[in-house]
Structure 1
């Protein structure tokens, strides 16, 4: 029976973790995960050679293609390029007709790709796509990345919903808090994060999903008002891909334990429910052995962050080569007196830095975090505004 499609990567990681404990035979693991022995040995071999990266789906493209360009033609292309270093693929393709038949000569695109593969193409200067910052999926030390989420709401005995906010360290699995809220709001979340930051310090990254108040798929870089507060504290907000909760699998696994311990059944009201959540946090951190930690407890593995929580947001000085503009109450910046470039209402009252890239293209930052581009040549109508684009090619 094949891997379940919806949780393939999560099951592979769980299989490797079970195998590394040494408590189970390959036969037992194959039976438990419903896979064949060849599949199991293939995963183990990939993990030993490449680590967890080797568990990802690999390309099935054949290493050799029957229509590949012949070696003698490739050599001819390289010799012509060496003789005429300033000539491009079109001219070299034309010269090939002097030495080869029409059926043997590859297309201009193929000639270009051959030259590029051998490092003989000088790329034209153009704007490159800005790579997003991805979560650190396999942190090496504590406080490198924390995970946070609102565990799915559930009804309490008084027929009111409880929304537990959970924050944990991804390396040690130490659970900082499980705080029950009536609603998933910025005010409640920020208050609990502040409490945790004051006690334990701040991480390098904070990994969340795309739900409110953490992120929004419709916002610039998915940043919300809470995200910009993290940035001001020196924390990089990072997100799972939409509809991919398995990318934060450690946190989701903890949520299953929390649900079983605190929501089946739930308490009568929020005060009683919070006592259950507090008991779960204490047991999870200090008593319950964790297999991924070698049967140690999260509390025995966790260290406090060396980065203290700043009670006052530190000032930020932009580089002198940037234009500094204030985001107005409508979430836009005024450009050349009467044009508007819309950013986000979450930044109103804040200052952003604008970098000139030439040809009318400008790059926008909030503090040291990239937000997007805009093209001032698109500013034709004084009555309309344009929006940032995260990529320009």
Structure 2
């Protein structure tokens, strides 16, 4: 018959049980269980103070670590997390430099572990890895390219949709506005662009998607009435490829933060919702560190534009080599009295210019922007109009 194996805990319990009988001395018990007298007295002391729980193996880790994060720093980390619930360890750590010295501020991993120990880290869904797409328009200076878009609509508490218009500088990520509208239309967008232009000046380009009122895949060069207004101000409208929001990823990433901060949950009405949007803009620009900016804020990087907004559209004089024609109410220009070349309904009442390239091929311009080409050989039917082509075949 094999010997019965016993665990250390079972031997401790057996030792205490034998000691409690009072039949044996400490010397006899130590000899039987092959332990020293200090060990025996330690087990008896633990049993008397904590019961059988005190016999369990204690951790040998020191109660206090010399490199442990100071209590006041831990309190600041938890306080900042409570205030900025959607921020991670990197951004919270950056704000600690305003209160403590660089030697006192713990690492990102330490900040993350402190948040995790206090149950303030939400497990994130593992994202499928995709090939990184770099932005088509990657400006090197402020006000070179601005981005604009309508963030996806969401219901407010009064069951009415809010459509936030956002405008930001693509270099500094400075968010000029997040304006809530009831509808995505030209009038609302143009009014907000005017307000922003008057405060911050105008950029060289504005990057948008192809949705109304910014662009139209059916229109020549995708230009809309808003696009032509930009051209008149000296701003070049540029567009992402259709169904390719990743080409303006930095703006879409900002939209994700805006949605989390302002739409989950949303406010009751547009007035209350606008207060939330304004608070987000202020925090995003002045407080929230941005990793792509070296953990600086957009306000630290951004400079005002040196190009002022003209209250009146400046006149434009075409070169004498061009032939200037007026766009009719139908959006077409009249060619040789009875032929028609369709340009765009958004240009009705304005003046376009054409330039002869030879062999019956003509270039069509609006101000200094090329719209397309037409071939006068195709002008056969006097009752129909010819559309412009963006490329010559």
| TM range, smaller chain | 0.5 to 0.7
Change over 3 Å in CA distance of 1:319–1:23 after alignment to 2: farther
Q: Which residue of 2 aligns with 1:294?
A: 294
C-alpha deviation, 1:257, in angstroms: 0.1
Give the SS at the match of 2:198.
Answer: helix
1:364 and 1:352 map into 2 onto residues whose CA distance is 7
**For the Cα contact (< 8 Å) 2:327–2:347, is it kept in 1?**
yes
1:355 and 1:219 map into 2 onto residues whose CA distance is 21
Q: Which residue of 2 aligns with 1:276?
A: 276
5 Å-filtered alignment, 1:65-214, equals 137-214=137-214
Change over 3 Å in CA distance of 1:23–1:373 after alignment to 2: farther
1:260 and 1:33 map into 2 onto residues whose CA distance is 18
C-alpha deviation, 1:210, in angstroms: 0.1
Q: Which runs of 5+ in 1 are unaligned?
A: 1-21, 25-31, 44-54, 58-134
**Rg (Cα) greater in structure:** 2
2:298 and 2:334 map into 1 onto residues whose CA distance is 50
* TM-score normalised by L of structure 2: 0.67
1:136 and 1:367 map into 2 onto residues whose CA distance is 25
C-alpha deviation, 1:23, in angstroms: 7.5
C-alpha deviation, 1:319, in angstroms: 1.0
Q: Which residue of 2 aligns with 1:249?
A: 249
* TM-score normalised by L of structure 1: 0.67
C-alpha deviation, 1:279, in angstroms: 0.3
Q: Which residue of 1 aligns with 2:334?
A: 334
**For the Cα contact (< 8 Å) 1:136–1:145, is it kept in 2?**
no
1:144-166 Cα deviation digits (max 9, x unpaired): 00000000000000000000000
Give the SS at the match of 1:333.
Answer: strand
1:44-72 Cα deviation digits (max 9, x unpaired): xxxxxxxxxxx779xxxxxxxxxxxxxxx
Change over 3 Å in CA distance of 1:190–1:56 after alignment to 2: closer
Does residue 229 (structure 1) correspond to residue 190 (structure 2)? The answer is: no
Spell out structure 1 runs of 4+ moving beyond 4 A.
32-35
2:136 and 2:333 map into 1 onto residues whose CA distance is 33
Give the SS at the match of 1:277.
Answer: helix
Change over 3 Å in CA distance of 1:265–1:33 after alignment to 2: closer
Give the SS at the match of 2:363.
Answer: strand
1:292 and 1:389 map into 2 onto residues whose CA distance is 40
C-alpha deviation, 1:339, in angstroms: 0.6
C-alpha deviation, 1:136, in angstroms: 5.7
Give the SS at the match of 1:282.
Answer: helix
1:384 and 1:175 map into 2 onto residues whose CA distance is 47
Q: Which runs of 5+ in 2 are unaligned?
A: 1-106, 110-125
1:251-290 Cα deviation digits (max 9, x unpaired): 0000000000000000000000000000000000001111
**For the Cα contact (< 8 Å) 1:174–1:285, is it kept in 2?**
yes
Give the SS at the match of 1:300.
Answer: helix
**For the Cα contact (< 8 Å) 2:136–2:247, is it kept in 1?**
no
Does residue 215 (structure 1) correspond to residue 210 (structure 2)? The answer is: no
**For the Cα contact (< 8 Å) 2:133–2:246, is it kept in 1?**
no
2:127 and 2:257 map into 1 onto residues whose CA distance is 20
Q: Which residue of 2 aligns with 1:318?
A: 318
C-alpha deviation, 1:196, in angstroms: 0.1
Aligned-pair RMSD on alpha carbons?
2.2
Q: Which residue of 2 aligns with 1:16?
A: none
Q: Which residue of 2 aligns with 1:258?
A: 258
1:164-198 Cα deviation digits (max 9, x unpaired): 00000000000000000000000000000000000
Instruction: Figure out how many residues of one structure are paired with residues of the other and give that number.
Output: 273
Q: Which residue of 1 aligns with 2:371?
A: 371
